Structure 1
Amino acid sequence: KGLDLDGSKHDLGVWLGPIEETQGQIEQAIQAYQAAFTSLPSLELYSTLKKLSGANWGQLRPALIQTLQDSHHTDALADVYLFEEEWDQAIGVAGKDGEWNYPLIEKVADVVLSFRPYWVIQASRKQAEGLIAKTQSKYYAAAVRWLSKMKQAYLSSGRKAEWLAYLDGLKSTYPRRPALQAELRKL
């Protein structure tokens, strides 16, 4: 009855789901977890629903994805796409959320590095150059962290010469920034 009431059902669903599951009431457990997911989507609830739904997963999954797409939980949507190894969809979520959501971009970049190195290069370059452009040394370590991802992507795609040319270009563009030069030497 409680799942039919108005309001957030996350806590109730998370509490009720395992109880129904241990009693062998799989359909009721799915309903409880789905109510929780609708209120507050997460990868954990998604994977629980995938495990419990078995042969019915093909019917349940589109509804869960739609719930994620309609919500403002872009991190959860990206997590699900990464979990399902749907790299391009995860990249789309990271790109749609804008460059300000750098934790999401970084999470996606870390996972898709060996599958979509060209995107990782582009995203990392944009983040690093944005930080360098601020001309404040406190941002240089973060910029170099992005450049390190960029380097990994270049090397994993067999483009070492391009990476070295880019790095040399950065060093020659900013010769009067000793703090940046010191960070760049770490690469």
Structure 2
Amino acid sequence: MARCFDGNKLVIASHNKGKVREIGELLAPFGVETVSAGDLGLPEPIEDGLTFIANAEIKALAAAKAANLPALADDSGLEVDALDGDPGIYSARWAGPKKDFTVGMEKIHALIKDQDNMAANFTCALTLAWPDGHMESFEGKVFGTLTWPLRGDKGFGYDPMFIPNGHAVTFAEMEPADKHAMSHRADAFKQLIAACFGDNQ
């Protein structure tokens, strides 16, 4: 039985403004006040886990203990079939020190442009941690294909090169509400809500 979240304030353990905004929008219907780790001036922990869940747990636990509040962390990335799952957990690092995801997308394109297989998926791990060290973790995925040149300016990260299966537009061309309804983050979020926010709905 998962532990239920029964507070009204939650730290989003991220310094990525796009991620903070997206998670805040997903939490809005549950009346939860959110504050980001960046706004609190919390340091970014070293993410040395070997899986998305391991890194999400590192970030969530560090923020929960530092802020003495429950914290929600996301670790997500793009896994490209032709690259044996890379960049995966290193998706942000492929964007370089300035977190310029255009750099990361250009790197991926250069590596796969002569490949026939353009299949890829986004994976998102969400961890809700409490200051006492308890954690609940969930993982979601969305599958699709990569496209070039880049399309759209509504998303963030690798969204401009990813077309989810069954659609003709990239995540960056979709309205945010449409992306929220089907993304890897939404998949993990539905699991989190069902397990930890059941009484809040």
TM-score when normalising by structure 2: 0.25
More helix by share: 1
Which has the greater radius of gyration? 1
Higher-RCO chain (CA-CA 8 Å, sequence separation at least 6) = 2
TM-score when normalising by structure 1: 0.26
